[in-house]
Amino acid sequence: MSTIKIINYEASTGRLREIYNDIIQKRGKLAEVHKMQSLHPESIVKHMELYMEIMFSKSPLSRAEREMMAVVVSITNGCLYCRQHHAEALHHYWKNDERLKQLISNWETAPLSERERYLAQFASDLTANLAAFENTERMLQFKNKGFSDLELLDASLVIAYFNFVNRLVLATGIGLETDGGAGYRY
């Protein structure tokens, strides 16, 4: 149950209804994460623009790598909502139930490539141990693993974005959709 007022689709009017309709048309359906900002409709638009830029724009990081980092950040923060949604998105790319289950159960022992493991470690470290990044040494460790500056920037954007969204979701208390989040366009 949400801890703040949420305006559902049926009760929406004006600009909020336009925004909701646009999301449904582009994404396939309206999620609770979109409705959590319904009291400030234009923030939904800006939020979606940021999300689309970080998760779908051209990047040296694959869509699967970005979704995997989203899952690791959400696991680290204990955000079931985002973990569920982005695990489903990751499954769309991985198409491997067992591998996904292992990632969710314990990403550190999951069957990941070396590159994926470094990205997962980066996501976990930057989420749980921000102080470790106060000097350049920690970032240089990842750079020395062969990641380019653009890859590290894009990974940092994904990680920061999901820390932001995890906190919004947890603060507003939104719950999973009754369908578990199925049916979005990836």
Q: What is the pLDDT along the chain (186 residues), one digit of tens a residue?
A: 789 999 999 999 999 999 999 999 988 889 999 999 999 999 999 999 999 999 999 999 999 999 999 999 999 999 999 999 999 999 999 999 999 999 999 999 999 999 999 999 999 999 999 888 888 888 899 999 999 999 999 999 999 999 999 999 999 999 888 765 555 555
Give residue 110's pLDDT: 97
Distance of CA 85 to the CA centre of its chain: 8
Read off the amino acid at residue 145.
Answer: K
DSSP 104: H
Q: Can you list the positions of beta strands (E) in 34-165?
A: none
Give residue 180's pLDDT: 52
Give residue 138's pLDDT: 87
Give residue 116's pLDDT: 98
CB 177 within 8 A of CB 28: no
Give residue 88's pLDDT: 93
| CA-based nearest residue to 183, from 40, 24, 9 | 24
Give residue 2's pLDDT: 85
Note the pTM of the prediction, 2 decimals.
0.92
Give residue 184's pLDDT: 58
Give residue 27's pLDDT: 85
Q: Which residues contact 101 (CB under 8 A, 6 or more apart)?
A: none
Give residue 87's pLDDT: 96
Give residue 119's pLDDT: 97
Q: Which residue has 């409705």 as its token pair? A: 35
CATH number for region 63-171: 1.20.1290.10
